[in-house]
């Protein structure tokens, strides 16, 4: 109970700090931070599967795209409101993650990585194949008039920032609750020693499947929010690149920590942003940074912070 209270207070302080930053930062950086918070939610979903359960997926872009296209297609072709579009995105991500999890968890280790990558690539090719409805590589724009939620215009920079913050806050508290719950403790036990967890009587396969579903729905929520807040749905978000991004965010920020995904997303986003102004080989700079952090901070930035300064960090 004390652990949950301390975790909740820490998360509340973090959310308050992010809210205050909007009134301090220049317009450009507040816009960047809104995008970062949505992508951090995506990384949080990935972290639940990788950082807490120990399952390395290379196909999470499929879940992100499922939420994005679930919302986008519902609003574009069925003329649904944004609130119903969000629901459609979440349901799409739920169905996709449940099916993919059921099939992919028949494998383990490297085979699981390959299978998730294959499913994600199949999803990307399906988007291209259904170009008549998805507009293929070109994608489609969600009109400004459609990006209204409960009377709030999400195309406005301020509204967009605080909508992203609300999404981030909700998902952060959900992750915090999961981590402190018996379910979360079981996931960590599976990560540490799957056979021992099975010997203790836990249904390991069921817990892993539920972890895939929870991870997929959170990632899908990020995809739906990205489409609604920034007004674009495109096949680029279903490519392998967007499956690698959350892995990088989590590794840099700290796998198995609640704030690691945010730290990693901020670090990587600004590293690429600044280095791209200096050279076209900005991905090389990102790669070197990742190698250095892996060598000198193998637990990620938040992981090292927990190890050296804040052992209570969730």
pLDDT per position as a tens digit, 254-297: 898 989 999 999 998 888 888 888 778 777 887 888 888 878 88
Q: What is the pLDDT of residue 3?
A: 66
Residue 46 lies in a domain: yes
Residue 301 counted as domain residue = no
pLDDT computed for residue 58 by the predictor: 93
The β-bridge partners of 232 are 141
Tokens 């198995």 correspond to 256
Domain coverage including residue 65: 2-239
**3-class secondary structure, 200:** coil
In a domain, 282, yes or no: no
pTM of the model: 0.94
Tell me: the pLDDT tens digits for 108-158?
A: 889 999 999 999 999 999 999 998 899 888 888 898 888 988 889 998 999
Domain for residue 308, yes or no? no
Asked if residue 129 is part of any domain, the answer here is yes
Q: What is the pLDDT of residues 152-175, one digit of tens each?
A: 999 899 999 999 999 999 999 999
Question: Which residues on neighbouring strands pair with residue 233, listed in sequence order?
Answer: 140
In a domain, 254, yes or no: no
Query: Is 170 a member of any domain?
Result: yes
For the chain, what is the domain count? 1
Q: What is the mean pLDDT of residues 25-45?
A: 94
**Mean pLDDT value across the chain:** 91
pLDDT single digits (tens) 53-105: 999 999 999 999 999 999 999 998 888 899 999 999 999 999 999 999 999 99
Residue 304 domain-assigned (yes or no): no
């Amino acid at each position: 109970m004390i652990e949950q209270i301390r975790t909740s207070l820490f998360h509340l302080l973090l959310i308050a700090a992010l809210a205050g930053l909007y009134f301090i930062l220049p317009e450009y950086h507040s816009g960047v931070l809104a995008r970062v918070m949505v992508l951090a939610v995506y990384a949080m979903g990935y972290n639940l599967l990788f950082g807490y359960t120990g399952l390395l997926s290379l196909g999470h872009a499929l879940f992100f795209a499922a939420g994005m296209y679930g919302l986008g297609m519902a609003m574009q072709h069925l003329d649904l409101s944004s609130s119903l579009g969000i629901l459609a995105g979440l349901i799409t991500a739920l169905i996709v993650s449940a099916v993919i999890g059921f099939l992919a968890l028949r494998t383990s280790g490297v085979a699981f990585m390959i299978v998730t990558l294959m499913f994600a690539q199949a999803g990307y090719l399906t988007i291209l194949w259904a170009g008549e409805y998805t507009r293929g590589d070109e994608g489609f724009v969600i009109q400004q008039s459609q990006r209204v939620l409960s009377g709030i215009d999400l195309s406005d920079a301020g509204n967009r920032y605080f909508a992203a913050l609300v999404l981030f806050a909700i998902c952060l508290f959900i992750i915090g609750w999961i981590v402190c719950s018996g379910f979360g403790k079981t996931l960590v036990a599976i990560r540490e020693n799957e056979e021992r967890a099975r010997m203790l009587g836990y249904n390991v396969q069921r817990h892993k499947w539920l972890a895939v579903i929870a991870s997929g729905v959170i990632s899908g929520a990020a995809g739906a929010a990205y489409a609604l807040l920034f007004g674009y749905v495109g096949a680029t978000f279903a490519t392998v690149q967007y499956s690698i991004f959350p892995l990088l965010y989590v590794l840099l920020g700290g796998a198995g920590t609640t704030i690691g995904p945010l730290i990693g997303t901020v670090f990587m986003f600004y590293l690429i942003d600044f280095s791209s102004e200096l050279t076209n080989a900005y991905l090389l700079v990102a790669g070197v940074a990742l190698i250095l952090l892996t060598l000198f901070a193998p637990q990620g930035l938040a992981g090292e912070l927990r190890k050296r300064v804040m052992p209570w960090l969730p």
